Structure 1
């Protein structure tokens, strides 16, 4: 069967895309690596909470359950996404890890690790960045005899009880993990620049209320290219206090590892048990190598989620893809709506060319 579209990934971005494809009556299928249509959420650390209220976590057509003012947990988000896929009866194939996408003229063949093949007139890559951790190349790391891991592998604090721990990173995850670990360990947050904290509820309103009112998160970035989201940590009143009370400290990133620990920029060597890199992720698009869709760094050549080099290929879930809200729960639906609008237009144009007997550029 030739589908109108195949969506790779059934996390928040893929599900939002599926909703808009379904609304347009397009034939599509979703391919999800995991066992459930919940994306990467179950793999995050146990205590993760959204830093935006539940009312901003809903995808189109289904409100997020519970008090709209509460901050959902990791498991609540996963349960919501699974219920969302069930509510709309999306055609999701789980356990389908995509290994390769092959353009075949006016269509695509999508191959999975277990030997399945899906043919489609368009492809939406909605795999985001999770599962490909980014770790800085720090001198001496191979000689370090302690434990190093990425935040992808971190689950909870008890295994680090009594340890000397360094958490590397300056984003929300780095701060959340560091503050949690400070309850059971001696912790330093290692940063290249100081963490910019901002109150979670200035003047009694959640910061996302202000952002929505000012429409900051929807400012278009497409004309500037793909940009990263700003590195600001929204503080519900506990993070900055933890540093001020001395429960953990913040230092400039260490210069190198030693066998027993790290060397700080002051030249001081300190013994360390564990180093956790909360340093983000790389774009997870290896299945597109060889298509001409990626640049030399593996980043997609795209604008507003539309491939500039491979007709019929689209993206949802890239950070800074369209606006500052891109790659978040609240940004998934607007990004998906725009992409599906372009995709539907592409399919109509391709249909007209086929009926006229012309090629993709109007040539007989």
Structure 2
């Protein structure tokens, strides 16, 4: 019998949860498939990207809406550090409202658009504004839906040679409300295309994170299910560097899949003490994302120990690449991978927790808001001409 997250397909379909469960579980294979897709298009990708990336003054803007924006927020710090390029992350929702704050007219720019549906009003508007306002502008579309407005824009402007679209593997266009395999596949694509990572190293890392997730899903399901049945009214995610963006995405997942019944918050490891720590009460779950970087890890463990000793939160958990001694509530991956790769198993854990919290609150994860106030593809946005 086919199962996802240890639930039968019939059970999941009855609870309108089968798309989300399947899309969480399929991610390791989606990542492997993405590697093959990029390998097949390597020559075309290099022809487009190499002249741009060889320019030290190139500005790279990672953009999207919601989860697609947070994927850029997670990757930008790591890419800046490890490629020494000018990489920034702005939401299309920020750009469209005030484009002059984010675009520099005379700066050669590569706009990298993350898009699940490719039909969000802000996604298309941000691309058009970039072309309107930046004199030397190029686009890399990372899209999950090949039949979308962004793809149409690329086709209609193909003669300019300024746009390249990479379609994620089949199945990455999530049918569930919350982005799962779509966001992880687009983030992985951006990392592979922009990260200056040796191909052999990248291939081995992808195989490792895929294997880790496939091995851990069963044990994580028991842990997330137990946590889901506790009366947490608040969930707080914290992490440093690229994990701050992952904390932001994880907090959104809880908020989305519980339809706002559980309040969520994200912050950096050091930022939490500066006021946001008041969010933690006796009905809170705190999840820390630990870095494998030895310097950063010191700050991670200091905060974790402090939260444990405070005896305020109901539960404090951490995900870590390496083992952290004999400390309880630290879920170690037994991996020495760089932080840019730990992003992906950490995301899977957070998605699983949000899924279980949704079920425990009597909701339908595939569409936690059936009354339609919040939609899978945003509606009700009027795009105004910018003069």
Larger-gyration structure (1/2)? 1
More helix by share: 2
Higher relative contact order, chain-length normalized (CA < 8 Å, sep 6+): 1
Q: Give the TM interval when normalised to the shorter protein.
A: under 0.3
- Say which structure is richer in strand: 1
Normalised to the residue count of structure 2, the TM-score between the two structures is: 0.25
TM superposition score normalised by structure 1: 0.26
